[in-house]
Amino acid sequence: MTDISQRELGVTQQGHYAGAVSRLVAFCCDQAIATICFSIATGSLTYIVTVISPDNYELQIPPSVLTAFFVFWLFLYYSYPWSTSGKTAGMAILGLRVVQRDGSPTTLRCGILRTLMFPLGFITLGLGFVGIITNKEHLAIYDRIAKTAVVYDWDARGARLRFLARSAPSSSPDHLTSQSISDAPEQI
């Protein structure tokens, strides 16, 4: 019953300001994905160089360069999605989207500015993130600068229909629906 209420509440909040937990989890996912992708990319590059070099040259990338590449990768990873669709991979998983303050889609300027200002949250020793909890619009410091906001934006209608279908009574006349619908909440 708690799951049902929670899910119903979730699907009814599409377009609302996203909370700290979802955004934190999305960020963690993004970081994991970005790091994994970068690691795969650098490992692949090293392997390719080793394979194709005549004397099995082992590529040694200086940490500073590697860090610079990683930072550049992160910049690309965040700025491009935020400038176009408004959502990174992690935010897509959690159903979040970056929009402008009025709710309109983000622009290239918004995406780049938000990406560049994003480190301020860490630079301020986490104080820049406090606004996500305390602010009325759940704005972090980089949101204020870039004039953006983060909202729930998953497939609300589809999710609601799926939720309704799963929460249908087991006495449904349809034999196909009875199994999936009645079992779904228990599985959840």
Write out the residues near another protein by the rule CB under 8 A: 3, 6-22, 25, 93-95, 99-104, 133-134, 136-137, 149, 151-152, 154-169, 172-174, 176-177, 180-181, 184, 187-188
Residue 15 CA from chain centroid, whole number: 15
- Residue 76 vs 188, nearer CB to another protein: 188
CB of 127 to another protein, least distance (A): 16
CB of 76 to another protein, least distance (A): 25
- Residue 70 vs 153, nearer CB to another protein: 153
- Residue 70 vs 121, nearer CB to another protein: 121
CB of 40 to another protein, least distance (A): 21
- Residue 29 vs 42, nearer CB to another protein: 29
